[in-house]
């Protein structure tokens, strides 16, 4: 053991004993401190790992929600486009189907117009209305059933200065009062029935000075575009 420093000297042994004893205490304190720090850092590591995982999960959820929201928007947009396309197709198809009065429409008109027997009515077809002839004949027969006095000949022509759409009712402006309103019962009833039967979108009454006073000018234009 002579290799140890101061091994044969009592004073040296005491000194080295004290040094190693203190060193042991210091190392033990460092070991305990290291264990405490290791425990605290290990706990903090777990906390930070949980926070990172929670943040990553929240990010994934946010991205998933955003993707789902974009998908819904895309689906809604596609559905709207499909609906618009279907509407356009239906509109194009409706433009190729000629208009006719149904049995119920004829019956409704006859019932409403019958109280005004003898009312003169002139039927005019715009050349822009390719389906006008059978449609006009339906009205001609209906007016006759209501015992009105329609012209036997349906007139055809080009309407200048206007695009006639659907059906129109016109009278001589002299039939209107000073406020420009027409109160003739047969005229008012005809317009109201056309609206009620979906043959006219809104109640509109036109005037034209060329029309014989007391005569209703019934004008048929081209098929209305789809709504």
CB atoms < 10 A from the CB of 117, how many?
11
For strands 120-126 and 155-157, give the pairing: parallel
Among left, alpha and beta (phi > 0; psi -120 to 50; other), residue 154 is: beta
Tens digits of residue pLDDT in 21-75: 888 888 888 878 888 888 888 888 888 888 888 888 888 888 888 888 887 777 5
Does residue 60 sit in helix, strand or coil?
Answer: helix
Locate 199 and state its tokens: 């043959």
The answer to whether the CB of 220 falls within 8 A of the CB of 184 is no
The answer to whether the CB of 159 falls within 8 A of the CB of 126 is yes
Distance of CA 67 to the CA centre of its chain: 23
Tens digits of residue pLDDT in 9-33: 777 777 877 877 888 888 888 878 8
Q: Find, among 169, 165, 135, 167, the residue nearest to 226 by Cα.
A: 165
Which run of H or E residues covers position 28?
Answer: helix 10-95
pTM (predicted TM-score) = 0.59
What is the structure's pLDDT at 75?
59
Residue recorded with tokens 């048929």: 220
The answer to whether the CB of 142 falls within 8 A of the CB of 119 is no
Tens digits of residue pLDDT in 158-210: 988 888 999 999 999 998 876 668 889 999 999 999 999 999 999 999 999 99
Flag whether pLDDT at 92 surpasses 60.
no
Average pLDDT rounded to a whole number, residues 119-125: 96
Which run of H or E residues covers position 121?
Answer: strand 120-126
Burial of 133 (0-12, 13-18, 19+ CB in 10 A): middle
Instruction: Provide the 8-state DSSP code for 105.
Output: H
Locate 211 and state its tokens: 């029309």
Residues forming beta bridges with residue 157, ordered by sequence position: 126
Residue recorded with tokens 């609206």: 195
């Amino acid at each position: 053991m002579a290799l140890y420093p101061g091994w044969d000297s009592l004073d040296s042994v005491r000194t080295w004993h004290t040094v190693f004893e203190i060193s042991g205490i210091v190392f033990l304190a460092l070991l305990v401190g290291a264990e405490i720090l290791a425990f605290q850092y290990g706990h903090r590591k777990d906390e930070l790992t949980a926070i990172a995982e929670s943040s990553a999960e929240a990010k994934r959820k946010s991205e998933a929600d955003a993707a789902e929201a974009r998908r819904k928007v895309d689906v809604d947009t596609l559905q709207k486009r499909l609906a618009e396309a279907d509407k356009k197709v239906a509109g194009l198809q409706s433009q190729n189907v000629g208009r006719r009065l149904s049995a119920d429409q004829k019956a409704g008109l006859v019932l409403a117009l019958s109280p005004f027997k003898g009312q003169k009515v002139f039927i005019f077809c715009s050349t822009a209305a390719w389906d006008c002839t059978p449609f006009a004949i339906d009205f001609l027969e209906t007016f006759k059933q209501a015992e009105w006095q329609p012209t036997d000949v349906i007139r055809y022509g080009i309407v200048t200065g206007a695009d006639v759409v659907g059906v129109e009712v016109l009278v001589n402006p002299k039939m209107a009062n000073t406020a420009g309103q027409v109160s003739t019962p047969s005229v008012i009833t005809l317009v109201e029935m056309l609206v009620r039967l979906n043959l006219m979108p809104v109640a509109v009454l036109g005037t034209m000075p060329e029309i014989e006073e007391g005569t209703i000018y019934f004008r048929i234009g081209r098929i209305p575009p789809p709504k």
